[in-house]
Amino acid sequence: MEGKHVIIAFVLALSFWGSAALCAQEKETDTNEVPSPVEVAKRQRELDEVKQIANRAALSALTGDEKFILRESYWNGNLAPGKAKLIQVQLFRRNEYKFWFAAPERDAKLALNIYDSEGQIMEAATSQIEDKTNVVTLEFEPELTGTYYLRIALKTTSERPQDWAVIYAYR
């Protein structure tokens, strides 16, 4: 039982520690250095481009008889090879969710998993969008309403950090 509490504490600590990354723009700068408005706008455009990759990948799931409804919420940032981030999400039972995790580099190998509030990995269908190695999807239907954690990771096959975006929809 103690091991379970350690895992929960670890997951929660990671989620709070990484919460700045959940909101979006990550840019390593000297704490005394403030980016200019031009730099901020350029960085936002770069992150918006990655979000558009995810949006284009989601289009087919957002139409038809059993379409998903895209949420306005999304997350983005920059991720180094071999690193992972947790994204905290509130999900409701009886809904089905689909997440799209995108990065601009086609050779970037992405991983996407979902964990419950106790740190247990949940069974979910994951796949890559056909002919695109830069978008991974995850479909999940929670049995219980609650807090869940998406774990996004960039495998070490990529040589440089990648901008990333995660969008999601429900039905």
pLDDT in tens, 81-121: 999 999 999 999 999 999 999 999 887 889 999 999 999 99
Tell me the two tokens of residue 7: 């895992």
- Mean pLDDT over each residue of the chain, to the nearest integer: 83
Query: What is the phi/psi pair of residue 71, to 5°?
Result: -85, 150
Q: Is the pLDDT of residue 5 over 60?
A: no
Please state the three-class secondary structure of the chain as a single string.
CHHHHHHHHHHHHHHHHCHHHHHCCCCCCCCCCCCCHHHHHHHHHHHHHHHHHHHHHHHHHHCCCCCCEEEEEEEEEEECCCCEEEEEEEECCCCCEEEEEECCCCCCCEEEEEECCCCCECCCEEEECCCCCCEEEEEECCCCCEEEEEEEEECCCCCCCEEEEEEEEEC
Q: How far apart are the first and last CA of the chain?
A: 36
Residue 151: name the closest of 84, 89, 78 by CA: 84
- Total tally of structural domains belonging to the chain: 1
Q: Give the range among 27-31, 72-76, 104-108, 141-145 with minimum mean pLDDT.
A: 27-31
Owner of token pair 């690193």 = 83
Our CA angle for 7, 113, 157, nearest 5°, is: 105
The stretch 11-33 carries a mean pLDDT of 47
Q: Is residue 30 part of a domain?
A: no
In a domain, 27, yes or no: no
23 or 92, higher pLDDT: 92
Closest CA to 163 of 81, 40, 79, 43: 79
pLDDT at 155: 85
Q: Does residue 33 lie in a domain region?
A: no
And the tokens for 169? 């929809």
Domain-embedded: residue 164 = yes
Asked if the structure places residue 43 within a domain, the reply is: no
CATH number at residue 136: 2.60.120.380
| pTM of the shown model | 0.76
pLDDT over threshold 90, residue 158: no
Which two structure tokens, joined as six digits, stand for 17? Answer: 């520690």
In a domain, 53, yes or no: yes
Q: Is residue 28 part of a domain?
A: no
Domain membership of residue 39 (yes or no) is no
pLDDT band (50, 70, 90) for residue 20:
very low
Measured CA to CA, the distance from residue 22 to residue 16 in angstroms comes to 10
Residue 121 lies in domain: 2-22+49-170
